[in-house]
Amino acid sequence: MSGQTTPLRPGTASTTGGQTAREKRSAAESLRQALPKSYLLLVLLGIIIIGFIASPDFLTGRNASNVITFSAIIAVLAVGQFFVILTGGIDLSVGSTVALSTVVTAMLLQQGLPAGVAVIATLVACALVGVFNGVLVVGLRLAPFIATLATLSMVQGLSYIIQSTSLIQISNQQFITWFSDGSVLGIPNPVVIFVVLTIIAAFVAKYSTFGRRLYAIGGNREAARLSGLPVNRDLLVTYTVSGLLAGLAGLLAAAQLLQGSSLVGQGYELDAIAAVVVGGASLFGGRGDPISAVVGVIIIATITNIMNLVGISSQPQLVIKGAVIIVAVFLSSAGGVARISGALSGLRGRRAHREKAA
Amino acid sequence: MPIDTATREELGVSGIAKAYTGVQALKGVDISVAHGSIHALAGQNGAGKSTLVKILSGAEVPDSGTITVDGHRVRFRSPQDAQAAGVQTIYQELSLVPQLSVAENVLLGDLPQKSLHSVDWATMRTLAADAIARVGFRIDVREPVGNLSVAEQQGVELAKALHKQARVLLLDEPTSTLPPPDVQRLFQVLKGLAAEGVTMLYISHRMEELYELCDEVSVLRDGQLARTFSIADSEPAQVVSAMVGKDLEHSLEGEALSGGSVPRLGPGPTDQVLMTVENLTEEGKFRDVSFDLRAGEVLGISGLVGSGQSELASALAGARPRSGGAVRIDGKAAALASPREAIRAGIGLLPQDRKAQGFVPDMSVAGNITLASLPMFSRFAVRSDRRENSEARRLVDRLGMKVSSVAQPMKTLSGGTQQKAILARWLVRSARILICDEPTRGVDVGAKEDIYELLRDFAAGGGTVIMASSEIPEALMCDRVLVMAAGRVVATLRHEDIDPHGEAIIRCFGGADQTVPPKATSSTESTQAAVHPRSPLNDVPQKRGLT
């Protein structure tokens, strides 16, 4: 798996494979192999340079902290979405699960429950949404797209029913400190949460047997089954984790907005999926890694931020965002970097051949 | 068909070279195909066969060299160019639209029209019926192609090529998906077309087919033409030697092809019964299969493709549900309800379709080798790359796998090396029973030998093997062969009781039911004239690969 899981450290791409003499590659060759994997950071760097030129307010600690905090909710969703996409599935229900999470938390806090109890109950409820998805996919063998689309609708309806009034205010200070206002060593809690989560996810993907099994299931489900892997159980766990993380994202949203509302989170699933794919994962499964998915989130958030700073209004912003996604996905998932470099070297080869012939 | 020396060259290839990024796939190949002859193109995987086919079909542009059709130099920049020049390609995977009718498929891209661009159905049906009749089939041209058998679909594909005025047909392993009676039919049709003056380049690794059908065979090796043989003056073993570039005298494949007695793979069974199968049944696939498997035995399950041997093998590996019967391993009942259970009982499966069932393409060789035994390389669900890689390296060395590193993605390996990696997966787990389903399908001649050697090693180390195969030479290597026909075991033959050509096995293939009718109505009238009974070839035995 070294190929997929070390995209952010191009220099180390070949060290996991072992150090025998036959593995020595020419520098140009290893650069060519590392390029598609490290391009994401280059893209982010390029965007940051553009931002620096475009606006004096961009490269400030305050703005950077804004971008990252703003990214936290989508980043948490993207991590869960990454694992689902890794198995070759998709989870469209996470946006409405965010809404459910805010509504359930707000309601429980309004009832006067302690913050800890409300948080745990909410996470359990959202994990159950994931279990439901998992049962539809594994038990009833529905296509993940359809199953989670149906769940999206059901959960949205459920949020409306639970909310019943317009919206529910949150005033529990404890809760707000945990998920929004508090900080650890000066780092805002939402950032701490998503960074820790990303690190755990990266570790699980790269070093755990569970992560390896998910790569196998996404890469070739039948081969995984015939190798005796517990495919159904792993899929169930994956959808459950996605629901759970959508619940966590909802807690962050609720604490930021100070309210529970069934209108929160609409379309977040698409932002998360876009980020995962920008991060190089394949919708067919078996490829990608969680850190790249989160870098994908930050890339999209940074571009949005720059557009806000230079005063581009929100309608053209959407158009530009869409174009950026197309370019990024072409370069990563569609193998654009490899294709362009392949075409170039093919051209060079043909020219060399012609020169030789002449 | 003896070649008339006076015949002119229909297809000429000269000095064709093609390089892909860094790899020289073809290094200047010259082939000359006479008008109306069937010329075989043979070679191992990676020898350059498919590159040459792509170039001749217009899918790839060569770096240098020339192609002539009927003496005229042609340049193919696209498949349309090739088709316009009369070169039609029939690929292994048929390119028909299953929902459309036969007539629409045959005339696709050239639909006859009436005024206002509406389709002229009547003309279309007549034209299609003519083309279908020409390839010797009698099919209702209004039938959707999806309802036809594979053989009939191939007929439609041929008819389509003929309708486009094919002078030269490129046939890329056309028999790989056909059952034997249909193979014979196809050969009749092809011979008929050759008699009408259609020239064919026929790609295949199957020696017996080349010797039955073709006039000449050009062998490619490492991107070069190794040699062109006249079929009438050569022996299969010479062609195979040219393919692998070494003398095959002492290899199993060589033995099998030359009709010598084939050595067994294993040291022979012990007295200990390892697995007992009683009345195993899967509705519609196989019925009432019973046998005892002894430790150390190499048991063959032989049969024509579709006789149930593959399904039986999968069921024994827990990969398919069974509807009845019992299996005992070491005297204890084994449900084998999932691959996981079968693996726990010590069974490993080399599946038939390696690409679809065998490996994870983007994953490393090491990851694929350790896939079935992850807990062995992990503590508290945390894996150790170091331990996985060192075990993988050990197996790579032991099995002589050609990899640049164990981190190399599986999809970049050759078919034979992939098969070894899957075998390695079971060696890591110390599986006791290895179930192989057509273990050498789609691997080249050299890798075949390697796989037999590995199975031999596995058996020599005390392992037990069940080998489901439709290849006679493979059945000849087993200690005991169950012959299946129409889902039932019709005979059990011991190694000693089988003649060197496997006639004893082939005789049983018809099973109790000898009335298997040749598919569809035979329209031999149209092709009869062209069908020459094959002249007995030197001393080529009546060996048949049965897929």
Residue A4 in this model has a pLDDT that exceeds 80: no
- Domains B10-86+169-259+518-542 and B262-346+432-499 equal at CATH topology level: yes
Contact B357 A223 (CB under 8 A): yes
User: Is A346 within 8 Å of chain B by CB?
Assistant: yes
Closest alpha carbon within chain B to A347: B21
Residues B12-34: what's their mean pLDDT?
85
Contact B367 A17 (CB under 8 A): no
Cα dihedral B44, B47, B50, B52 sign: negative
Contacts of A285 in chain B (CB under 8 A): none
Of A106-120, A146-160, B250-264, B373-387, the least confident? B250-264
Q: Which band of pLDDT confidence, cut at 50, 70 and 90, is reported for residue A32?
A: low
- Of A238-242, B118-122, B409-413, B528-532, highest mean pLDDT: A238-242
Q: Which band of pLDDT confidence, cut at 50, 70 and 90, is reported for residue B249?
A: low
Contact B362 A212 (CB under 8 A): no
Contact B21 A346 (CB under 8 A): yes
Contacts of B405 in chain A (CB under 8 A): 17-18, 20, 22-23
Question: E-strand spans in B344-458?
Answer: 347-350, 378-379, 382-383, 433-437
User: Distance from B27 to chain A by nearest Cα, in Å?
Assistant: 13
CB B9 within 8 A of CB B167: no
What was the pLDDT predicted at A245?
A: 97
- Taking each continuous run of H as one helix and of E as one strand, the counts in chain A are 15, 4
Residues A326-341: what's their mean pLDDT?
73
Give this prediction's pTM.
Answer: 0.74
Residue B485 or B483, more confident: B483
Task: Give the burial class of A358: count Cβ atoms within 10 A of its Cβ; 0-12 exposed, 13-18 middle, 19 or more buried.
Answer: exposed
Contact A207 B383 (CB under 8 A): yes
What was the pLDDT predicted at B180?
A: 67
- Spans of all domains in chain B: 10-86+169-259+518-542, 95-166, 262-346+432-499, 360-431
Nearest Cα to Cα of residue B69 among B160, B153, B167, B146: B167
- DSSP assignment of B191-248 equals HHHHHTT-EEEEE-S-HHHHHHH-SEEEEEETTEEEEEEEGGG--HHHHHHHHHTS--
CB A75 within 8 A of CB A198: yes
CB B193 within 8 A of CB B36: no
State how far the alpha carbon of B405 is from the alpha carbons of A2, A25, B364, B426, in Å: 12, 11, 9, 20
CATH of domain B262-346+432-499: 3.40.50.300
- Of A47-61, A72-86, B184-198, highest mean pLDDT: A72-86
Nearest neighbour of A1 by CB, restricted to B344, B351, B363 = B363
Q: Which residues contact B499 (CB under 8 A, 6 or more apart)?
A: none
Q: Which band of pLDDT confidence, cut at 50, 70 and 90, is reported for residue B246?
A: low
Nearest Cα to Cα of residue A2 among B359, B384, B363: B363
Of A17-31, A237-251, B161-175, the least confident? A17-31
Residues B154-168: what's their mean pLDDT?
86
What was the pLDDT predicted at A250?
A: 96
What was the pLDDT predicted at B525?
A: 37
What was the pLDDT predicted at A125?
A: 97
Q: What is the pLDDT of residues B267-314, one digit of tens each?
A: 888 889 999 999 999 988 899 999 999 999 999 998 876 788 889 999
- Of B263-267, B346-350, B473-477, highest mean pLDDT: B346-350
Closest alpha carbon within chain B to A349: B21
What was the pLDDT predicted at A61?
A: 85
Question: E-strand spans in B60-210?
Answer: 64-69, 72-74, 87-90, 168-172, 199-203
CA distance B28 to B224: 6
What was the pLDDT predicted at B3?
A: 46
* Residues of chain A above pLDDT 70, percent: 84
Phi first, then psi: give them for residue A155, nearest 5 degrees: -70, -35
What was the pLDDT predicted at B199?
A: 93
Residue B235 in this model has a pLDDT that exceeds 60: yes
What was the pLDDT predicted at B158?
A: 87
| Residue whose token pair is 């499964």 | A285
Q: What is the pLDDT of residues B409-428, one digit of tens each?
A: 998 887 788 889 999 999 99
Contacts of A23 in chain B (CB under 8 A): 404-405, 407
Closest alpha carbon within chain B to A219: B360
Helix, strand, coil share (%) of chain B residues, nearest 5: 35, 25, 40
- Architecture (CATH level 2) of domain B10-86+169-259+518-542: 3-Layer(aba) Sandwich (3.40)
Contacts of A17 in chain B (CB under 8 A): 364, 366, 389, 405-408
CA distance B246 to A239: 55
* Residues of chain B above pLDDT 90, percent: 31
Q: What is the pLDDT of residues A139-184, one digit of tens each?
A: 999 999 999 999 999 999 999 999 887 788 998 999 999 998 888 9
User: Distance from A244 to chain B by nearest Cα, in Å?
Assistant: 21
Q: What is the pLDDT of residues A69-86, one digit of tens each?
A: 889 999 999 999 999 999
User: Distance from B51 to chain A by nearest Cα, in Å?
Assistant: 16
| Neighbouring C-beta atoms of residue B300, cutoff 10 Å | 28
Nearest neighbour of B362 by CB, restricted to A4, A16, A349 = A4
Of A95-99, B26-30, B374-378, B473-477, the least confident? B473-477
Residue B346 in this model has a pLDDT that exceeds 70: yes
Residues B506-526: what's their mean pLDDT?
47
**CA trace torsion B157, B162, B166, B171 (10° rounding):** 30
What was the pLDDT predicted at A104?
A: 96
Longest dimension (CA), chain B: 80
Residues B138-144: what's their mean pLDDT?
87
Residue B356 in this model has a pLDDT that exceeds 70: yes
Contacts with B, A 213-242, CB within 8 Å: 213, 215-216, 219-220, 222-230
Residues B135-151: what's their mean pLDDT?
84
Which pair of tokens denotes residue A261?
A: 């509302």
- DSSP assignment of A123-181 equals HHHHHHHHHHHHIIIIIS---HHHHHHHHHHHHHHHHHHHH-SS-EE---HHHHIIIII
CA distance A6 to A205: 11
B475 residue type, one letter: A
Contact A220 B356 (CB under 8 A): yes
Residue A237 in this model has a pLDDT that exceeds 90: yes
Contact A3 B407 (CB under 8 A): yes
Residue B86 in this model has a pLDDT that exceeds 60: yes
What was the pLDDT predicted at B511?
A: 57
Residue A323 in this model has a pLDDT that exceeds 80: yes
Residue A19 in this model has a pLDDT that exceeds 50: no
What was the pLDDT predicted at B290?
A: 94
Q: What is the pLDDT of residues B391-411, one digit of tens each?
A: 999 999 988 888 888 999 998
Q: Which residues contact B248 (CB under 8 A, 6 or more apart)?
A: B237, B240, B241, B254, B257
Of A123-137, B4-18, B461-475, the least confident? B4-18
What was the pLDDT predicted at A274?
A: 92
Q: What is the pLDDT of residues A253-280, one digit of tens each?
A: 999 999 999 999 998 999 999 999 988 8
Nearest neighbour of A20 by CB, restricted to B378, B385, B405 = B405
Residue B91 or B386, more confident: B386
Cα dihedral A159, A162, A168, A174 sign: negative
Q: Which band of pLDDT confidence, cut at 50, 70 and 90, is reported for residue A22?
A: very low
Residue A40 in this model has a pLDDT that exceeds 90: no
Which residue ranges form the domains of chain A, and what is each CATH number? 55-333 (1.10.3470)
Nearest neighbour of B358 by CB, restricted to A18, A223, A357 = A223
Residue B259 in this model has a pLDDT that exceeds 60: no
CA distance A292 to A206: 13
What was the pLDDT predicted at B255?
A: 59
What was the pLDDT predicted at A351?
A: 67
Residues A77-97: what's their mean pLDDT?
96
Helix (H) or strand (E) holding B497: none
Q: What is the mean pLDDT of chain A?
A: 85
Q: Which band of pLDDT confidence, cut at 50, 70 and 90, is reported for residue B253?
A: low
State how far the alpha carbon of B331 is from the alpha carbons of B259, B275, B326, B339, in Å: 40, 7, 11, 20
